[in-house]
Amino acid sequence: MNRDYPPHPIPAALAMVVRDGRVLLARRGKGNTPDPWGFPGGAVEVGETVLAAAQRELAEETGIRARPERVVEVFDIIVHDASGRVRTHFVVNAVRMTTPEGEAHPASDVIETGWFTLDQISTLPRHPNLDRLAAAMLDASPA
């Protein structure tokens, strides 16, 4: 599916995982310019539920296996080009996952993974929604 200038919004899922007061983040990279840090995730495939997409993307990008619990937030990411046309439009479903077992490692198009506290996140190059989502996840986690 072409993600530039799509004919309709593209559904996407983020896998939000917390362990020991830290959230799991991934960083994609192409060439010499790595992307900002964010939750593992990607587009929902045809015939796939949002929860299944979050579970699949988490495993593909980090090697972590966890079960989806529920969608905790839905938001849009809309990017316009210089002429004002919609270049991309994602409808993002942020999914809380169970606490996983095992260690994360970069896979697929991910170049780095890591577990981060809110203080550590504040020092990272990151996606605009990351601070808010990570804070909500950590506030909702059992101590």
Condensed to tens digits (0 to 9), the pLDDT of residues 65-122 reads 999 999 999 999 999 999 999 999 999 999 999 988 789 999 888 999 999 999 999 9
CA distances from 46 to 66, 111, 120 (A): 22, 26, 36
| CATH domain 10-140 topology | Nucleoside Triphosphate Pyrophosphohydrolase (3.90.79)
Q: On the CB side of 116, how many CA atoms lie within 13 Å of its CA? A: 25
18 and 49 Cβ atoms separated by less than 8 Å: no
- Let me know the angle formed at the C-alpha of 113 by 107 and 118, rounded to the nearest 5 degrees: 155
Rounded to 5 degrees, what are φ and ψ at 107?
Answer: -145, 170
CA distances from 141 to 18, 76, 134 (A): 7, 25, 11
**Residue 50 pLDDT > 60, yes or no?**
yes
> Residue 64 and residue 54: Cα distance in Å, rounded?
11
- Least confident piece of the model among 7-11, 46-50, 105-109, 114-118: 105-109
Mean pLDDT across the chain, nearest whole number? 92
Q: Per the structure block, which two tokens stand in for 2? A: 């072409």
Q: Per the structure block, which two tokens stand in for 3? A: 């993600």
* Confidence (pLDDT) at 143: 46
